[in-house]
């Protein structure tokens, strides 16, 4: 069964995407604070690991101790985390009319397990859309940053962060391609810009959704 792309009729769903060290957590937190200061209910969440089950799945897919995973296994673990996340966190919040802000979502699987790994992007897309009922963000903010710059923003690396520069370059290019294909639902920003400037650009776009 094919699911048509679905945008929630209540609430607002905003996703932050981008490579390692691009500032997704910083900007999602700033947006959350800005919205709460204006009386909006905000659910600030992330993938993987936003649920009890998700925490275990996050440990499996990101811990260096896990070692090598088959690419399909990795993609399915992310899809399992996402299914639980959407069913227990995202959809209930949207039904209440909340603003849901997530650090990573389906596009991360398409970029990392699709473009980054050896998997067919169409297969990863199909699994991810099935896991979520094809629930799509009203807006995806892509913070664009060269991998060589992102790596300099942290010291320790997990399984994914420890991949090659070539891997992360393919990931970066995939995010930009997806954004260019659907500009109505994406905002691409240079992650090297000042934090306040990035935040202002995000707020300007989000205001149109409220």
- Which residues contribute to the annotated binding site for ATP? 18-25
Question: CB neighbours of 72 closer than 8 A, spacing ≥ 6?
Answer: 119
CB 105 within 8 A of CB 136: no
Is residue 147 packed enough to be buried (19+ CB in 10 Å), middle (13-18) or exposed (0-12)? buried
Asked if residue 82 lies in contact with residue 47, where contact means CB atoms within 8 angstroms, the answer is: yes
Euclidean distance between the first and the last CA atom of the chain, given in angstroms as a whole number: 32
Residue 84 CB neighbours (<10 A): 18
| Backbone φ/ψ region at 157: left (φ over 0), alpha (ψ -120 to 50), beta | beta
What is the spatial order of strands in the sheet that 42-46 belongs to? 42-46, 99-103, 12-18, 139-144, 186-190
**186, 140 contact by CB (below 8 A):** yes
| Binding-site residues from annotation | 18-25
């Amino acid at each position: 069964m094919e699911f048509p792309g679905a945008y929630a009729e209540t609430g607002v769903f905003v996703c932050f995407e981008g490579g390692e060290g691009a500032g997704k957590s910083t900007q999602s937190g700033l947006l959350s604070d800005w919205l709460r200061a204006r009386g909006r209910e905000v659910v600030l969440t992330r993938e993987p690991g936003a649920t009890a089950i998700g925490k275990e799945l996050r440990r499996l897919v990101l811990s260096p101790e896990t070692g090598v995973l088959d690419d399909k296994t990795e993609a399915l673990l992310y899809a399992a985390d996402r299914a639980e996340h959407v069913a227990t966190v995202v959809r209930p919040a949207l039904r209440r009319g909340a603003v849901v802000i997530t650090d990573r979502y389906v596009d991360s699987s398409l970029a990392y397990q699709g473009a980054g790994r050896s998997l067919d992007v169409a297969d990863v897309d199909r699994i991810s859309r099935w896991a979520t009922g094809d629930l799509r963000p009203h807006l995806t903010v892509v913070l664009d940053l060269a991998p060589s710059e992102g790596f300099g923003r942290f010291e320790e690396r997990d399984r994914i962060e420890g991949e090659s520069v070539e891997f992360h370059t393919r990931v970066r290019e995939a995010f930009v391609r997806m954004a260019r294909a659907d500009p109505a639902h994406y905002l691409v920003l240079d992650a090297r810009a000042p934090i306040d400037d990035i935040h202002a650009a995000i707020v300007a776009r989000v205001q149109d959704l409220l």
